[in-house]
Amino acid sequence: MYTVFEIPLMIMTFLSILFGIILLFKFNSLRDKGMILYEEITDEIDWSRKRKEFMHKPPLELRIIIKEFLKSTDLPFTSGKNGQAFYIVLFMVIAISTILIKILV
């Protein structure tokens, strides 16, 4: 029976990459659901302004929640919608370098 420390480096690397890719897909699906809610809330605010239901700005708490959501949709070290591409490339570089290290050593 193998312990965690006896599993080859290559297998651990690929399992980590697979886990990272699964997390990226999960993050993307949650962000998409959040963007739908964001768009609905902002559409409602715009619609209310056009009908003159609100004579003032939306409450501060609502504005802060919307801005916090927009800030939380970026991945660390990247910004924008293409942040996942950075991580996919990073995972590929790690996989290729692990293969090269295994071949050369």
pLDDT digits (tens, 9 = 90+) for 6-64: 567 778 888 888 998 899 889 888 888 888 888 888 887 777 767 666 566 777 787 78
The answer to whether the pTM exceeds 0.75 is no
- Least Cα distance to 9 among 89, 101, 77, 74 occurs for 101
- Least Cα distance to 62 among 40, 79, 80 occurs for 40
The Cα 40–Cα 10 span in angstroms is 45
CB proximity list for 94: less than 8 A, separation 6 or greater = 13, 17
Measured between its terminal Cα atoms, the distance across the chain in Å is 25
Residue 97 pLDDT class (50, 70, 90 cuts) = confident
